[in-house]
Structure 1
Amino acid sequence: MRIIAGRFRRRRLASAPGNTTRPLTDRVKERLFQLLGPFDGERILDVFAGTGTIGLEALSRGAAHAVFVERDHKAFELLCENVEALGVVEDTFCWRVDVLRCSFRPKGREELFPYDRIFFDPPYAIANQIKPGTPLFKSLERLGRDDVISASGEVVLRVPLRQDVILPDVWHRHELLEMGGMAIHRLRRQSPGDQDSESLGGGEAALWEEE
């Protein structure tokens, strides 16, 4: 794995063998980041971070800070290794904690949040648990708190293609992308004029096929 663009372009990243993580291919990652736009000065939260490829790509493209949340021991070790190799220890916080119980606000590092962009990338084995009453649903709900995400911030949620997603009331989907066998839901906090989007199965999506 490597950084695609920005100040760390072409830098190699340590990655976990096997099915511990699900890193994006270079082509899909490039298209996704082009679509998401500039990251200048943003504060990033990378949830289910794996070895940090998404958050580190955002830092390379101009983000100011990043918090990485990852519970798996091996993935966390490689995440810390990547952060140190790129020399961004002071700009980041690597947090080995259970996402399902996480506050997303590391104590003593208040300069790192509220976040401007949150990547929420649950393992496919539990991604279908995003439904009311589940710990994963409650975690997504906590991300909508005023002290976690900025007023204009967004969540980038990645799940398997065609999977139905039921969101907490705090979130509104403003764009759906389909690429590389996965669905990318771009979420913002609900405002009074937003259309009800409780169930997000089907519907039109921008389709990006991996060549």
Structure 2
Amino acid sequence: MRITGGQLKGRLIKCPDGIIRPAMDKMRESFFSILGPLDGKSFLDLFSGSGIIALEAVSRGAECAVLCEKDKLKITTLLQNVSLSEKEMHKKIECRFMPVELFIKRSKNSFDIIFCDPPFPYKFHIQLIQSIADKSRTPNALLKKNGTVLIHRPAEIDMPDTIGCLVKKDKRVYGRSIVDFYQKGFD
């Protein structure tokens, strides 16, 4: 896999052992183009796998990135991959190795952009976005005001237009994959 844009464009990263379905290059280029400039923004990568999404985010200007992955088989490769941002850009990507659902409950940080890429057999897409919406209504809001949540899902799973305080603003189809863009509305 390679990074498709920004300061690290063209750098190859390793694919970890275990089950992985990395986001396609064209899909990554597309949704990062839709997001626009990331300068100064904070980025959360849930179900991060190889870490390529967090690397793309910092490569394209995100001020900071946090990733969350629970698969222990991916830890060594993931840490090697994210070290690229420290070595070449002097930007740190914070890694959390735990279930995403637990991270959402415990997090005290707020993010401008949250990217969710659960495994395709995952059955809790709506509940995942609902938990982000619920956590974004608390004093330690997970998603900042006007923040965006993206969820990568198979076409067979339908997502509603509104989930809690999140409203679907865009949907892009990439073959059998869909990326939905939710934005935090006003309560």
1:5 maps to a residue whose letter is: G
Q: Which residue of 2 aligns with 1:183?
A: 178
- Give deviations 1:19-77, integer Å, cap 9, x for gaps: x2211222222122212211111100000111111111010000010000000012222
> Which of residues 84, 103, 116 is equivalent to 2:112?
116
Kindly indicate whether the alpha-carbon contact (under 8 Å) linking 1:21 and 1:75 is maintained by their aligned counterparts in 2. Answer: no
Cross-structure match for 2:32: 33
Corresponding residue number in structure 2 for 1:13: 13
Give the deviation of 1:91 after TM superposition.
Answer: 2.4
Which residue pairs with 2:147 in the alignment? 153
2:114 aligns to what SS in structure 1? strand
Q: How does 1:190-205 map to 2 (within 5 A)?
A: 190-191=185-186
Aligned residues of 1:6 and 1:61 also touching (Cα < 8 A):
yes
Q: In the alignment, residue 95 of structure 1 is paired with which amino acid?
A: R
Counterpart in the other structure of 1:200: none
Unaligned runs of 5+ in 1: 108-112, 193-211
- Superposed, which structure 2 residues align to 1:117-132 within 5 Å? 117-126=113-122, 128-131=123-126
After TM superposition, the runs of 4+ consecutive aligned structure 1 residues lying more than 6 A away are none
Which of 164, 167, 171 is the aligned partner of 1:172?
Answer: 167
* Aligned pairs, number: 182
Q: Does the Cα contact within 8 Å between 1:16 and 1:78 map onto a contact in 2?
A: yes
Give the secondary-structure state (helix, strand or coil) at the position aligned to 1:153. Answer: strand
Amino acid at match of 2:103: C
Query: What is aligned with 1:141?
Result: 133
TM-score by length of 1: 0.77
CA-based RMSD: 2.3
Name the CA distance, whole Å, in 2 between partners of 1:125 and 1:141. Answer: 22
Counterpart residue number, 1:71: 70
Is 1:93–2:98 an aligned residue pair? no
Partners of 1:17 and 1:30 in 2: CA distance = 24
Aligned partners of 1:99 and 1:139 also within 8 Å: no
* Letter of the structure 2 residue corresponding to residue 163 of structure 1: I
Going from structure 1 to structure 2, the CA distance change for 1:116 and 1:49 (only over 3 Å counts) comes to: same
Larger radius of gyration: 1
Residue in 2 that maps onto 1:3: 3
* Equivalent residues of 2:43, 2:112 under 8 A apart: yes
